[in-house]
C-alpha cells in the first residue's frame, strides 16, 4: 500500500483492482507491504470478483493487526482467509506459506533483541528477576523448568548478564518490555496506566510515618489500617534519597508528574479505594471473592487438592441445620475432589466448592 497513511483517528477505506487468471479459485491468503514511514492498523480486507458470473463471490479477511514499514521488518505481511484447516486438509498452496508464518511468529532465527515490529510469540523462563551485574546479592533464581516450575513469559531476546549467563539483562524501564504489536495496550489505556502509576507513587511517598513497633513488619494489624492507607494525605517534599531511587526505577515523564504534584503547596492527595472494597469494606472476606482471588494471578499454580482437613488446623467445627458437624459434611468432598488448598508462605488457606 503506497502513499500517506493518516493518523489512526478514523477508518480509511481503499479500493484496489487487480487481475487474476480466469480459473483462479478461492483466495486463501493475500500479501501486503507498507512503504510508508509509519505503521498502520489493518482492520479487514474483502476480495470480490467483478465479472458478472462470479460477482456474488466475496472473501472476507479479518486482519485486526498492525502492519509495519517494509524497511523495518524486511518481509511482507501475509494474511490468511478466516478458514481453519487441519494440517492434513490444508490446501497445497498454503502449506509453505503457513510454515513460513509459523517460523516467523516463533522467532527461532532471531539472534538479537526482539524489536517492537518483529511479532514474535516465543516463550522463555523468568530469568530476568535479578540483577547479578550489580552485585551477587541482587542475583535471583530462574523461575521455570524442573527445579522451580513456573509459567513462562514472552521471550525478549535481551543479552545475558556478564556475571551470570543464565540470567538475562533487565529492561531499561518499566514500559520498555517487549510486547507483540497486536497485544499492546491502546494509547488511551496506556495513558491510564501511566496516570495510575503516578498516583500510586504520590500516595506512596505521602504515607504517614509508622510507629517504632510497626517498622519491622509488613502486615496490617486491622482492616482500618488498610482503609486509612487510602485516606486523604498531605503531600510532602521528596527527600533526596527517595528522588535518587525513583530516578533509577521510574520513567522521566512519570517522575516529572510526581515532582510537579509534590511541589504544590499543601496539596491533598486521595487514592481511589480498590474496586473490591469500594462498595463493601468487607467484600474480601466472602468465600466467593476469596475463591476468585485464588484463581487470579499466579495462584492457580499453587492450588492443590486438600487430602486431610488437619492441614487447616481447625478443631472447633460448628454444626449445620441437620445437626451434623461441618467436618462430617466435608469428608465426602475430599473423596470427590471438591476441596482445594492454596499454599502460601505464611500458611495454608482452604476453600470448598
pLDDT by residue (tens digit) across 263-296? 654 454 555 677 777 778 888 788 888 778 777 7
CA pair distance 279, 93, nearest whole angstrom: 58
For the ranges 43-57, 202-216, 231-245, the maximum mean pLDDT occurs at 43-57
Phi-psi region of 117 (alpha: psi -120 to 50; beta: other; left: phi over 0): alpha
pTM of the model: 0.63
- Convert the pLDDT of each residue in 296-321 to its tens digit: 766 667 777 777 766 665 545 555 55
- Give how far Cα 167 sits from Cα of 131, 142, 158, Å: 8, 7, 10
Q: What is the pLDDT of residue 179?
A: 92
Instruction: Tell me the C-alpha distance between 3 and 209, whole Å.
Output: 60
Where is average pLDDT lowest: 89-93, 114-118, 207-211? 207-211
Query: Looking at residues 71-80, what average pLDDT do you find?
Result: 92
Other CB atoms within 10 Å distance of the CB of residue 4 = 7
Taken in order of first residue, the domains within the chain and their CATH numbers are: 29-106 (2.60.60.20), 120-183 (4.10.375.10), 187-276 (no CATH), 297-352 (no CATH)
**Using only C-alpha atoms, what is the Rg of the chain?**
28
* Span 38-69, pLDDT tens digits: 999 999 999 988 888 887 888 999 999 999 99
> Do residues 276 and 283 lie in contact, with contact meaning Cβ atoms separated by under 8 Å?
yes
> Would you list the DSSP string of 160-223?
BPSS-TTSBPPPSSTT-S---GGGSPPHHHHHHHHHHHHHHHHHHHTPPPPPGGGTT--S-SSH
Amino acid at each position: 500500500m503506497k502513499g500517506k497513511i493518516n493518523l489512526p483517528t478514523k477508518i480509511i477505506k481503499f479500493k484496489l483492482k487487480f487481475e487474476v487468471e480466469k480459473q483462479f479459485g478461492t483466495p486463501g491468503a493475500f500479501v501486503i507491504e507498507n512503504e510508508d514511514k509509519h505503521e498502520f492498523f489493518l482492520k479487514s480486507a474483502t476480495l470480490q470478483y467483478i465479472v458478472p458470473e462470479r460477482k456474488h463471490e466475496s472473501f472476507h479477511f479479518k486482519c485486526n493487526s498492525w502492519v509495519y514499514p517494509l524497511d523495518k521488518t524486511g518481509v511482507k505481511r501475509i494474511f490468511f482467509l478466516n478458514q481453519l484447516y487441519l494440517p492434513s486438509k490444508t490446501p497445497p498452496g498454503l502449506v509453505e506459506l503457513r510454515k513460513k508464518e509459523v517460523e516467523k511468529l516463533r522467532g527461532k532465527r532471531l539472534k538479537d533483541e526482539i524489536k517492537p515490529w518483529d511479532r514474535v510469540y516465543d516463550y522463555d523462563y523468568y530469568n530476568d528477576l535479578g540483577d547479578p551485574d550489580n552485585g551477587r546479592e541482587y542475583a535471583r533464581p530462574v523461575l521455570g523448568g524442573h527445579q522451580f516450575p513456573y509459567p513462562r513469559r514472552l521471550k525478549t531476546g535481551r543479552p545475558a548478564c556478564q556475571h551470570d549467563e543464565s540470567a538475562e539483562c533487565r529492561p531499561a524501564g518499566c514500559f520498555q518490555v517487549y510486547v507483540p504489536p497486536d497485544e499492546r495496550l491502546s494509547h488511551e489505556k496506556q495513558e491510564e496506566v501511566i496516570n495510575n502509576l503516578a498516583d500510586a507513587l504520590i500516595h506512596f511517598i505521602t504515607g504517614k510515618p509508622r510507629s517504632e513497633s510497626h517498622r519491622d513488619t509488613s502486615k496490617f494489624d486491622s482492616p482500618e489500617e488498610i482503609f486509612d492507607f487510602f485516606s486523604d494525605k498531605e503531600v510532602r517534599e521528596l527527600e533526596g534519597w527517595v528522588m535518587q531511587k525513583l530516578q533509577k526505577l521510574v520513567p522521566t515523564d512519570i517522575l516529572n508528574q510526581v515532582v510537579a504534584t509534590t511541589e504544590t503547596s499543601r496539596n491533598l492527595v486521595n487514592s481511589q479505594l480498590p474496586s473490591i472494597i469500594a462498595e463493601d469494606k468487607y467484600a474480601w472476606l466472602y468465600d466467593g471473592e476469596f475463591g476468585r482471588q485464588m484463581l487470579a494471578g499466579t495462584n492457580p499454580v499453587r492450588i492443590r487438592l486438600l487430602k486431610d482437613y488437619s492441614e487447616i488446623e481447625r478443631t472447633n467445627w460448628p454444626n449445620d441445620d441437620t445437626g451434623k458437624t461441618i467436618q462430617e459434611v466435608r469428608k465426602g468432598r475430599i473423596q470427590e475432589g471438591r476441596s482445594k488448598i492454596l499454599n502460601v508462605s505464611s500458611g495454608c488457606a482452604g476453600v470448598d466448592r
